[in-house]
Structure 1
Amino acid sequence: MIGTIIASIGGILFARRVNIYPGVKQLGSVIPTFIMSFGVVAMGILALRLQYSIPVFGMNFAASLAVYVLLMIIATRSDQNIFYTVPGGRIKRLLKAGIQSRPLSEPMLPNHRGAILVADLHADLGDHWERLLANAALQGIPVFHYKQVYEAATGKIRVEHLSENSFGSLLPSMSFVRFKRVMDIALVVLLLPLLILPLAIVAFLLKIDSPGPVFFRQHRIGYRGETFRVLKFRTMRLDTEVDTEEARRRKAMTGKEDPRVTKFGRFLRQTRIDELPQMFNILLGQMSWIGPRPEAIELSRWYQEEIPFYDYRHIVRPGITGWAQVNQGHVTGLSDIDDKLQYDFYYIKNFSYWLDFLILARTVQVVFTGHGAK
């Protein structure tokens, strides 16, 4: 019972913390957070060799989860919040992003219990509108800068200037960087003995599926702009060598229904099994489990020339999975890369345990659905 209380409190706090991120269905985040919370408590009970009852703990898990889901449903149905936008500045970007809101035509406070005002607070709005915002704050009506709403709703940061993180710095939390590195190594050491046989079977099937090496190696741009060789299972047929920069760039792109991808390779891509050899890149400190995906040198040079601040995504270690991958999937076109970079900047700005856990949970979903694979 004590373990249930601790696990329930942990699950509730964790679920509430994860729900602040965009694209998270409130009910969808409850189950993985409760599983993790109860799982940690169960491992603690086993490690301390305490007496326990599996049926009681299981029933308590189901009851706690059911009660919290019921409360979430009631809270969601009673949510009456509506965004009201103040005209002027860059407020129209919310409409272009598809964020539902009601524009104010005159400087009068909306007569609505769940009203939230949104404005471009850096623009010259005029005396009447600024007086309205001040009065709204005095009456306890939330007032947000449009940028906060845009980021919270889309999970992206517009690529027009470098954006500081919550600590007011361009550098991510260095304490979390160190903790993340320790956890990356620990997870590889834990999983590698369990995966060594399945990986060997995959290697054998690759050899009989199509001629060529088992592994695919490619130079990519990684942490702090340094070049490294990424290791993956080969999923494509061997191709001829090319000489020009543009030809190498096209070769580095994987299109939809790419004819170079083998049948077995397509399965590996859909399930992300082809990425697992990158555990060795993690051990070498070149990658992390979670972070922006490293790009081929040819593509990275192209993006550097076309997109401002592209190099800033290298401030953290690249990952096997990441915020852009679970939201957008695999992309290579320049217009898509601009969106991808906005997702990467959002991840760097909100670099934290909570966001990494959310990405990990959504990656599991991606593996089962094959979303974004090419």
Structure 2
Amino acid sequence: MKAMGVLELRLPYRLVKTRSLPALVLGLSLLPPLMAALWVFGPPPWRGEVWGLVGLTVLTHLLAFVATDRMARYPGREVWGLVAFNLLLFTLLLVAVLAMGRLYYSRLFLLSATLLAFLALLLYLRHLPPARLALVPGGMGDWLRQSLGRELHPLASLEEAEGVVADLHHLDPRALPLLAEASLRGIPILHAATVYEGYTGRVPLEPGLSEGLSALAERDLGLYPLFKRAFEVGLVVLFSPLIFLIGLGVALLVYLDLGRPVLFAQERVGLGGRPFLAYKFRTMRGAPREGAYAGEEEGRITPLGRFLRRYRLDELPQFWNILRGDMNLIGPRPEQRVLAEVYAREIPLYALRHAVRPGLTGWAQVQQGYAEGKEETLVKLSYDLYYIKHLSFWLDLRILFKTFWVLLTGFGAK
């Protein structure tokens, strides 16, 4: 092993999923309601209505824990926010069920159980020992090392590893005995590109473009794409009164700032490379230029326009594009047709991002922000291909959650 220079790699277990912990999740779902019940109601036996409340709370926490565990498998640092979001969401649903069913409840019990569950889930996600992996240098293994930004030390023994990470597409023959030993021991063998994806949230394109093609060839979307469109349109329709009222307010401000028209349409590239007109509120003086980057138009953006761009309010009219079928709520952001044609000539895999319907928000937007130029667009493409490969209900929920943070902070705006 030392001759191979195998290194010790430690990563959060949730990003590489070398082991499953359903028993721990179930235990953490049971413990907070039981502890809160002991404190509020005393030791059992309890009345039947108390058992009913405790049982529903256990189910609520189990759903919140499972949702958080699935959403946390995608890279990001906002773990505490995910925990709070899911516990609050499912607890509100529990309160609604109790109210509609006129069932017994205790505010003190629900509050204490939720606070204990928050602490338990936060400890679960942040303080479990990381997965200990053996990294075989070479190929994508070296790119993974660079993305970590820290020095790795030699691994003393394969017995200490929970998995072996190697570039299976460009494997050093000297690593074969090591992989054979790992297989005999029942230790998982992980492709370095897959681990890179789990850690960075990007499909690796820098060493070469073959991984991008491999990523899409390996994707397994399941049944989610069959109801994704209905789910997203339903969300838009549900919140349409609020969207309409905010849109009216923005339209009035734009009219007072820039006059008529308050909207402009720009040709963008959609599903399958087909062009469509995307609508936005005006934020600049004069007519928009085709193929121009936002940074080149800085001098024409009004103070109001800068505010609207920062908080993405200029994109509210694109909810109409969603209802028309031009866009999804979540997906790769549609690029200007002129720029998309340039990128397609310069970046061979660029057209792959048109394999899905573009979105109002997307993985690249919440991870990277606005991209300008070929190099930043290549990074954006790596995020888009990650989304296309890992498209799922849980990833879409993670993007929606991160979008709220982007809207609050103005992250990545131009």
**Normalised-by-shorter TM-score class:** 0.7 to 0.9
The Cα of 1:231 is off from its aligned counterpart by 1.1
Contact residue 134 and residue 158 of structure 2 kept, 8 A: no
The Cα of 1:90 is off from its aligned counterpart by 3.8
Find the aligned partners of 2:149 and 2:191 in 1 and give their Cα distance.
14
Find the aligned partners of 1:61 and 1:240 in 2 and give their Cα distance.
50
Structure 2-normalised TM-score? Answer: 0.78
Contact residue 289 and residue 320 of structure 1 kept, 8 A: yes
Q: 5+ residue gaps in structure 1?
A: 242-247
Match of 2:411 in 1: 371
Does 1:62 pair with 2:62? no
Q: 1:11-160 residue pairs with structure 2 within 5 A?
A: 11-46=64-99, 48=101, 50=103, 52-54=105-107, 56-75=109-128, 79-98=129-148, 100=150, 102=152, 104=154, 110=157, 113=160, 116-126=163-173, 128-159=174-205, 160=209
Structure 1-normalised TM-score? Answer: 0.86
Identical-pair percentage:
37
Contact residue 116 and residue 142 of structure 1 kept, 8 A: yes
Contact residue 140 and residue 193 of structure 2 kept, 8 A: no
Find the aligned partners of 1:185 and 1:51 in 2 and give their Cα distance.
36
Number of residue equivalences: 357
Q: 5+ residue gaps in structure 2?
A: 1-52
The Cα of 1:103 is off from its aligned counterpart by 6.2
Q: 1:1-374 residue pairs with structure 2 within 5 A?
A: 1=53, 2-46=55-99, 48=101, 50=103, 52-54=105-107, 56-75=109-128, 79-98=129-148, 100=150, 102=152, 104=154, 110=157, 113=160, 116-126=163-173, 128-159=174-205, 160-161=209-210, 162-163=212-213, 168=218, 172-173=221-222, 175-239=223-287, 248-249=290-291, 251=292, 253-255=293-295, 258-374=298-414
Distance 1:309 1:289, change over 3 A: same
Higher helix proportion (structure 1 or 2): 2
Match of 1:244 in 2: none
Match of 2:50 in 1: none
What value does the CA root-mean-square deviation take over the aligned residues?
A: 2.6
The Cα of 1:346 is off from its aligned counterpart by 0.3
Contact residue 232 and residue 276 of structure 1 kept, 8 A: yes
Please state whether the residue corresponding to 1:330 is helix, strand or coil.
Answer: coil
The Cα of 1:259 is off from its aligned counterpart by 1.6
Contact residue 218 and residue 296 of structure 1 kept, 8 A: yes
Please state whether the residue corresponding to 1:201 is helix, strand or coil.
Answer: helix
Distance 1:178 1:48, change over 3 A: farther
The Cα of 1:200 is off from its aligned counterpart by 1.1
The Cα of 1:359 is off from its aligned counterpart by 0.5
Find the aligned partners of 1:163 and 1:99 in 2 and give their Cα distance.
26
Please state whether the residue corresponding to 1:320 is helix, strand or coil.
Answer: strand
The Cα of 1:23 is off from its aligned counterpart by 2.3
Q: Which letter maps to 2:335? A: E
The Cα of 1:232 is off from its aligned counterpart by 1.3
Distance 1:64 1:240, change over 3 A: closer
Q: Which letter maps to 2:201? A: G
